[in-house]
């Protein structure tokens, strides 16, 4: 494993987006009157004096800093972080140009991904781009097609109902449960079952502990003065040990799934309908993946990197999305009651399956609205490889571009009452006139999350299964849950709710898979709506 990268030098770097020489006073974002057609200046968020520029406010209140700056400066502004100029984009069309239209002009050689690259190496999440990324994407994309994901649906419901069965003995009606911890365990069970088929419970638990420690240490990077990662501080030594434990766990996952018995069980796509130890799993699909252009596959090192990326991506983000969803339902009993009504009508007491996703559009909208307000993958960065123009603003080569979906998803220009949880904003009638680039919980373009369909299926099935059997209430006197911005967006302090079994609720072991997955091979959504637009379809870049 390569060593941890040094932190960027705190000495101020030249700002390529800054105008040179004395500038006439003028309103932010307007061209000088004596410079017809000149690029418009990018307004500067009020700086804080010191070598680290705006970092003190950004680190102490990252969301508040971005909200205030977006309200004051609008579509685009810049500030300094660790002495580096950062350009923030809040206009969905500008963001679409960076991520999709002119994607060839941008890469991921930026601070955010350099920070986590020692953990995730050259997997899809942190790979800078270029041929290695495109080759990996081509090989991995078939494993995440809707028809393949559908085969994992019963396993998702089965794991959820197993958790709910444990709740009957664990919680008295009205007892407070740590749902963040419960969903962390559930998500890990689902992702390891999907990836490896074989039972890997203890190894998965050790992985979760190591990843939690890693994420906590990395999350402090923006929150207080942080020495270079190459300095052997106690925190950095803990980080190195945690990364080694994660690596050991992933190697154990792969080794266990590569044994002849497990390989035989997992080699036949339809064997065992996805039950533990049988049927397809993602690991074997990746082990047997072949690049259509060069006919080669993945070596062990790259396979290790991709497995690590899948586990981290599927575990961390989905756990937080589940927690946020049920926190909001507890805060909004009117929405929870409407969800229960749909579930009771459609499911009629049986466990949810893949075909039920299209029959429960309100549940789908609850998921979509949760991802609007609390996108776990809430920030993106890019580096401009060459000069570009965004809305009349010159983006010089070398610029650091920052995109925050938490801010984008709350801009009143695109969202009515953006701070109100309103699933019906995603009805076709209310969505048709909205800027289609204003919603991007999974990113966009060729770097869109490869597991977006997997995540949407998992979130909706888990929501249906849990809400079928339980309702949730807020503990008396509980303070509001605020977002805690780490590498992903956590509910600060976790989600702790009173769990109450629903009267007469049923559920349990899911029905046997009937071979119909509710999807074709293409990109239709699970509610029958079209999948990603052609320019944001992950397969379009492959």
* CA–CA separation, 46 and 48 (whole Å): 7
User: pLDDT grade, residue 61 (50/70/90)?
Assistant: confident
Least trusted range by pLDDT, from 165-174, 192-201, 333-342, 379-388: 192-201
Binding residues for heme: 449
Please give the average per-residue pLDDT across 391-412, as a whole number.
Answer: 97
- pLDDT value at residue 520: 36
Least trusted range by pLDDT, from 32-46, 349-363, 526-540: 526-540
Binding residues: 449
Taking residue 505's Cβ as centre, other Cβ atoms within 10 Å add up to 16
Residue 161 pLDDT greater than 90, yes or no: yes
Share of the chain above pLDDT 70, in %: 78
Between 274 and 321, the higher pLDDT residue: 321
Residues 6 or more apart from 196 whose CB is under 8 A from it? Answer: 253, 256, 257, 262, 281, 283
* DSSP string over 489-505: EEETT--EEEEEEPTT-
- pLDDT value at residue 173: 97
* 3-class state of residue 239 by DSSP: helix
* CA–CA separation, 157 and 162 (whole Å): 9
3-class DSSP string for 407-419: HHCCCCCCCCCCC
Residue 397 pLDDT greater than 90, yes or no: yes
Least trusted range by pLDDT, from 28-42, 59-73, 131-145, 332-346: 28-42
Residue boundaries of the structural domains of the chain: 1-120+385-408, 132-377+427-541
- pLDDT value at residue 196: 84
- pLDDT value at residue 125: 94
- pLDDT value at residue 97: 98
User: pLDDT grade, residue 114 (50/70/90)?
Assistant: confident
* CA–CA separation, 353 and 337 (whole Å): 21
Q: What is the mean pLDDT of the chain?
A: 84
Task: Please give the CATH topology (third level) of the domain spanning 132-377+427-541.
Answer: Cytochrome p450 (1.10.630)
Residues 497-528 have pLDDT tens digits of 999 999 876 666 433 433 333 333 333 333 33
Please give the average per-residue pLDDT across 185-197, as a whole number.
Answer: 90
Please give the average per-residue pLDDT across 414-426, as a whole number.
Answer: 98
- pLDDT value at residue 27: 40
Contact present, 481 and 495 (Cβ < 8 Å): yes
Taking residue 532's Cβ as centre, other Cβ atoms within 10 Å add up to 18
- pLDDT value at residue 483: 96
Between 163 and 258, the higher pLDDT residue: 163
For residue 471, the surrounding DSSP H or E stretch is strand 470-473
Q: What number of helices (H) and strands (E) belong to the chain?
A: 18, 12
- pLDDT value at residue 219: 73
Least trusted range by pLDDT, from 218-222, 293-297, 313-317, 512-516: 512-516
Query: 86 has which bridge partners?
Result: 79, 400
Between 216 and 45, the higher pLDDT residue: 45
Please give the average per-residue pLDDT across 408-418, as a whole number.
Answer: 98
Please give the average per-residue pLDDT across 336-345, as a whole number.
Answer: 99
* CA–CA separation, 353 and 358 (whole Å): 10
- pLDDT value at residue 260: 60
User: pLDDT grade, residue 64 (50/70/90)?
Assistant: very high
Q: Which residue has the tokens 């079209």?
A: 530
Please give the average per-residue pLDDT across 123-127, as a whole number.
Answer: 94
* CA–CA separation, 157 and 212 (whole Å): 25
* CA–CA separation, 390 and 291 (whole Å): 35
- pLDDT value at residue 532: 38
- pLDDT value at residue 486: 83
Between 34 and 104, the higher pLDDT residue: 104
* CA–CA separation, 421 and 369 (whole Å): 7
Residues 229-279 have pLDDT tens digits of 778 889 889 999 999 999 999 998 888 877 665 554 444 344 333 344 345
Residue (of 70, 49, 10) closest to 411 by Cα position? 70
Residue 346 pLDDT greater than 70, yes or no: yes
Residue 458 pLDDT greater than 90, yes or no: yes
- pLDDT value at residue 276: 40
């Amino acid at each position: 494993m390569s060593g941890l990268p040094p932190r960027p030098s705190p000495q101020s770097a030249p700002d390529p987006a800054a105008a040179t020489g004395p500038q006439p006073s003028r309103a932010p974002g307007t061209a000088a009157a004596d410079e017809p057609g000149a690029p418009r200046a990018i307004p500067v968020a009020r700086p804080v004096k010191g070598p680290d520029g705006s970092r003190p406010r950004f680190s102490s209140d990252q969301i508040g800093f971005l909200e205030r700056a977006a309200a004051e400066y609008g579509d685009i502004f810049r500030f300094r972080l660790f002495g580096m100029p950062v350009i923030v984009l809040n206009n969905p069309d500008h963001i679409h140009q960076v991520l999709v239209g002119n994607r060839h002009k941008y890469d991921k050689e930026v601070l955010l991904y350099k920070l986590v690259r020692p953990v995730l190496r050259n997997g899809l999440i942190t790979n800078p781009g270029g041929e290695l990324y495109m080759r990996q994407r081509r090989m991995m994309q078939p494993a995440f097609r809707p028809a393949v994901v559908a085969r994992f649906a019963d396993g998702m419901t089965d794991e959820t109902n197993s958790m709910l069965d444990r709740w009957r003995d664990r919680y008295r009606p009205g007892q407070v449960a740590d749902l963040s911890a419960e969903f962390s365990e559930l998500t890990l069970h689902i992702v390891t079952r999907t990836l490896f088929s074989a039972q890997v419970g203890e190894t998965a638990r050790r992985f979760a502990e190591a990843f939690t420690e890693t994420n906590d240490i990395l999350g402090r990077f923006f929150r207080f003065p942080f020495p270079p990662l190459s300095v052997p501080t106690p925190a950095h030594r803990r980080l190195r040990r945690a990364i080694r434990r994660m690596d050991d766990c992933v190697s154990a996952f792969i080794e266990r799934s590569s044994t002849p018995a497990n390989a035989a069980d997992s080699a036949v796509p339809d064997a065992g309908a996805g039950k533990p130890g049988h049927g397809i799993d993602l690991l074997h699909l990746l082990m047997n993946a072949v690049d259509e252009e060069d006919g080669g596959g993945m070596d062990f090192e790259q396979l290790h990197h991709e497995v690590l990326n899948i586990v981290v991506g599927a575990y961390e983000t989905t756990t937080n999305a589940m927690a946020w969803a049920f926190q909001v339902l507890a805060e909004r009993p009117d929405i929870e009651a409407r969800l229960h009504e749909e579930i009771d009508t459609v499911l009629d007491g049986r466990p949810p399956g893949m075909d039920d996703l299209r029959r429960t559009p309100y549940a789908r909208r609850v998921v979509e609205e949760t991802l609007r307000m609390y996108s776990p993958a809430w920030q993106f960065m890019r580096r401009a490889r060459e000069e570009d123009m965004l809305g009349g603003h010159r983006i010089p080569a070398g610029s650091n571009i920052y995109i925050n979906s938490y801010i984008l998803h709350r801009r009143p220009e695109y969202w009515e009452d953006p701070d109100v949880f309103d699933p019906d904003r995603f009805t076709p009638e209310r969505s048709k006139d909205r800027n289609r680039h204003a919603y991007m919980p999974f990113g966009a373009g060729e770097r869109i999350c490869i597991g977006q369909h997997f995540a949407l299926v998992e979130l909706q099935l888990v929501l249906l299964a849990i809400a079928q059997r339980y309702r949730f209430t807020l503990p008396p006197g509980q303070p509001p849950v605020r977002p805690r911005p780490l590498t992903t967006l956590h509910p600060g302090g976790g989600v702790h709710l009173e769990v109450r079994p629903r009267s007469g609720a049923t559920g349990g072991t899911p029905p046997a898979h009937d071979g119909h997955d509710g999807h074709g091979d293409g990109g239709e959504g699970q509610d029958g709506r079209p999948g990603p637009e052609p320019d944001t379809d992950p397969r379009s870049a492959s």
